[in-house]
Amino acid sequence: MKRVFSGIQPSGEIHIGNYLGAIRNWIKLGEKLGRDAIFCIVDYHAITVPYDPEALAKRTFEAALVNIAAGLDPEKVTLFVQSHVPEHTELAWVFTTQTPVGDLTRMTQYKDKAARQVSVGAGLLMYPVLQAADILIYKADTVPVGEDQLQHIELTREIARRFNGRFKEIFPEPQAFVDPNAPRIPGIDGKAKMSKSVGNTIGLLEDPKQIWEKIRTIPDDPARIRLSDPGEPERSTVFTFLKYVAPPGMVQALAEEYRQAGVGTLVIKRILFQEIMKILEPIQARAAELRRDPDYVWDVLMEGAKRVRPIAQATMEEVRQAIGLLRPRS
């Protein structure tokens, strides 16, 4: 890896699935790559579905604050807001002119999100083109993503390949990096992956009382009707959560007791709550500190945009010349 890029939407609260599945990996990449680990709050992506304009700026700031609180170190990595670097959208338009509609309508995420909307905006269709621009404007060679984003990264590679072949060799074909140790955190409903769009999340900054109430509702082994019934951990969403946040020895011991009806589900849920709070308490404490010093978060975002803008400008100038635009006289 030489340069990585990844983004997170400010479309809702950052949740424990984001932390365990992505942010922890971002922190490791920052330790390895320093400033060439580029992370972005992708606010333009957040407006491709219905949203509250009055809440967007606040959520964008909050997303940055929470990522810093979770351990993303601005002294090592680069963190900024997508809309603060306008070259993202300029390059996205160029890529739009080169991307067949058929490639976009085949995207699984487009189909899923479009099916939940009465009227589908063109921005949702063009979402992966903007994502490609986010990545390629910095000539990133690696993109840490979850498995659900692999189709988009393959399209990014195709967009780069098509542009290079049609105009000039400018862009690398970035590789997706799926952390083999990154967990696929289930939602508290036990039916799907934890997702802001589904509303089945535990927020990193959520009140502990609310977190406990959510944990109480997590589905158990449906075959375990009475406390005296043996349970199967593999059928329990509670154990699925527990194995991602608790020490393996603890999980193994509880699983054996569970199979022998030696421990009740409520006890395991209380242990799960305690283990989750061990992760969240320091994050929440750091977030409280940052809220008392919002200028620090602002400075991080301004410095991040200042650092990456020259890279984006240089790439965009190469693109303008390659596609034949009339350049201003100096």
Catalytic residue among 193, 214, 278, 306, which? 193
Catalytic residue among 28, 76, 196, 243, which? 196
d(CA 177, CA 145) in angstroms, rounded, equals 6
Tokens describing residue 73: 């170190």
CA-closest candidate to residue 58, choices 230, 291, 315: 291
**Residue located via tokens 């899923």:** 112
Active site residue 193: yes
* DSSP state string for 184-251: -PBPTTSSSB--TTTT---BTT--HHHHHHHHHTS---TT--STTS---GGG-HHHHHHHHHS-HHHH
Determine the 3-state secondary structure of 291 from DSSP. Answer: helix
CB 316 within 8 A of CB 91: yes
Q: At CA 12, angle to CA 9 and CA 16, rounded to 5?
A: 90
- How many Cβ atoms are within 10 Å of 205's Cβ, its own excluded? 18
**Consecutive H or E run containing 7:** strand 4-8
Amino acid present at 211: I
Catalytic residue among 76, 113, 191, 209, which? 113
Active site residue 209: no
Active site residue 196: yes
Q: Which residues belong to the active site?
A: 113, 193, 196
